[in-house]
Amino acid sequence: MFTGIISDIGEVIKREERGDTRFVIACHYDAGSIDIGASICCSGACLTVIEKGREGGRTWFAIDASAETLDKTTLGDWSKGTRVNLERSLKIGDELGGHIVTGHVDAVGEVISRTAEGDSSRFVFEAPETISHFIAQKGSITLNGTSLTVNEVEGNSFGVNLIPHTLEVTTWGKTRPGERINMEIDILARYVARMVETGFVK
């Protein structure tokens, strides 16, 4: 379980094609604080640490991604040098600064536009039709692991504003139109929709 508050920007330093695909990601975390088997949210995808170490003054950890993960997320696009939003799993008693995030990617969307608004940047995204009805104005959504508030919704597209701090401490500062992004809808929206669908709520 996560909150969508990014705590580090990692970098893919190796991609190995095995039975699954193994990614080695450099980060600024203390290697001693990372447990084998721990979950780390990598640009919105909850992944399991299978190896870790230090090399060249940098901590690194390795994860395996199945063909299903590569197909249903942006991990299939990752290569050496890809920058990754990172978040460690939530501990009991931690501050819930964003919203409840599972790290289960619901769909892959696309950045449609980016424009400056004062010191902030306004992004417009397009979501697949399968999840667009879960996205609501002033609701929460997780994009590449980041907890964000939806400003407006129009059909399958929606907009968000990112302040300078968010642009600086995440990969969003270098994100451009045309890029694919991992999307996770708000878990509360998911369950409310399910209750309406089954007639539990009318």
DSSP per-residue codes, 73-117: SGGGG--TT-EEEEEEPP-TT----S--B-----EEEEEEEEEEE
Q: What is the pTM of this model?
A: 0.92
Q: Is residue 63 part of a domain?
A: yes
Q: How far apart are CA 18 and CA 66, in angstroms?
A: 10
Question: Is 43 within the bounds of a domain?
Answer: yes
The answer to whether residues 162 and 129 belong to one domain is yes
Does residue 1 fall inside a structural domain? no
Cβ contact 3:91 at 8 Å: no
- What is the token pair recorded at 130? 């399968």
What pLDDT sits at residue 145? 97
135 and 67 together in one domain: no
Interatomic CA distance for residues 197 and 41, integer angstroms: 30
Contact present, 159 and 150 (Cβ < 8 Å): yes
Query: What is the CATH classification number for the domain harbouring 165?
Result: 2.40.30.20
Helix (H, G, I), strand (E, B) or coil at 133: coil
Check whether residue 77 and residue 120 sit in a common domain: no
Tokens coding 101: 């995030």
Residue 193 pLDDT:
65
Statement to judge: residues 77 and 130 lie in one domain? no
What pLDDT, on the 0 to 100 scale, is given for residue 157?
Answer: 98
Q: Which of 95, 106, 121, 118 is nearest to 3 (CA)?
A: 95
Do 46 and 119 belong together in one domain?
no
Q: 97 near 3, Cβ under 8 Å?
A: yes
What residue has token string 């996560």? Answer: 2
- Three-class SS of residue 5? coil
Let me know if residue 56 belongs to a domain.
yes
Given this model, what pLDDT does residue 202 score?
A: 60
For residue 76, what are the domain limits? 8-88
> CA angle 133-114-135, nearest 5°?
10
In this structure, are residues 104 and 42 in contact, taking their beta carbons and an 8 Å threshold?
A: no
- Give the total number of structural domains in the chain: 2
Residues 115 and 156 in one domain: yes
pLDDT profile of the chain (202 residues), mean per 10: 94 95 97 96 98 92 97 97 95 76 95 96 97 92 97 97 97 98 86 64 58
